[in-house]
Amino acid sequence: RKVAPALAAGCPVVIKPAEATPLSALAVAELAQRAGMPAGVLNVITADAAQSIAVGKALCASDTVRHLSFTGSTEVGRILMQQCAPTVKKLGLELGGNAPFIVFNDADLDAAVEGAMISKYRNAGQTCVCANRLYAQSGIYDAFVAKLAEKVKQMKVGNGFEPGVTQGPLIEAEALAKVETLVADALAKGAQVVTGGARVDIPGGHFYQPTVLSNVSADMRMAREEIFGPVAPVFKFETEAEAIELANNTEFGLASYFYSRDVGRIFRVSEGLEYGMVGVNTGLISTCEVPFGGVKQSGLGREGARQGMDDYVEAKYICLGGLDR
């Protein structure tokens, strides 16, 4: 979503991958070289954790770099905005999320459970658009929690290259520790484990059981913080207005989801949710044909679709006169 529109607009690219996951970017550069792309068009700079800050500062300070596109935390996004200010760079920021997943009484529960599974547990919950807070209306709350837990219990944790495995590891020890801390905070404040709730000791990775929590409340940290792990906290709500208010009660505004068969409600809730993307009766919204991005502190700009080209081009007004003389 970043490199393709830049190249299509005629812009050379410098990729700085995350220090924990550099190999895919290096593979792209090698494939570009094999395909005959001229030297200097697609470039990759890698750095360990100790050097990443220095590399970022250099890219932000360079007058040659006219646009910076970043995917990562809101905290780092703010720092990059400050560092880019002296050179007045264009910025595309895809930052943190706190995606709500709302299930109304009139929803198709089986479809909602399937949507929650893909929205919450894909990549072990480690995407910025993963459902972070699940809200079920009081009339179907118990049934939704039971159906979701039944599906989650069927998941198999392990090495993704092994047959039958449906959930792999978290990316690092710190990520596992964060998930454990958030779950412990929720349990201490009254949440209940329906299934999961513990790490899995498998050599060679940092694994956590796919988890469903009930009796979750707004005073728990996972109501405000991005979990980035395979934990589904299910909150209860009473009215449509309450659901919208709870969903919007966050500094983030990237992705949101809800399930309903009421056409009027679909339009009302879609308009009421303060998010850059809204999935209605689906838990999978990311495709290359649509504009991807958020509002509030989830970022700036859009990636994908025709809007994805906007950051890499400039509008120029040329006024011609005197040609009739």
Our measurement of the distance from residue 300's CA atom to the centroid of its chain's CA atoms, rounded to an integer in Å, reads 14
pLDDT in tens, 268-303: 999 999 999 999 999 999 888 899 999 999 999 999
pLDDT tens-digit readout, 310-322: 989 999 999 998 8
CA distance 154 to 165: 10
pLDDT for the residue numbered 154: 98
How far is residue 33's CA from residue 237's CA, in Å, rounded to a whole number?
Answer: 54
Q: What residues does CATH 3.40.605.10 cover in the chain?
A: 3-95+298-312
Q: How many CB atoms lie within 10 A of CB 175?
A: 20
CATH topology of domain 102-280: Aldehyde Dehydrogenase; Chain A, domain 2 (3.40.309)
pLDDT of 324 over the 90 cut: no
Three-class SS of residue 271?
helix
Each residue's pLDDT tens digit, 201-256: 999 999 999 999 999 999 999 999 999 999 999 999 999 999 999 999 999 999 99
Distance between start and end Cα atoms, the chain: 48
SS3 breakdown of the chain: % helix, strand, coil, rounded to 5? 35, 20, 40
Give the single-character DSSP code of 124.
G
Report the catalytic residues.
94, 128
What CATH class has 3-95+298-312? alpha beta
CATH 3.40.309.10 in the chain, residue ranges: 102-280
Backbone conformation region of residue 23, classed left if phi is above 0, alpha if psi is from -120 to 50, else beta: alpha
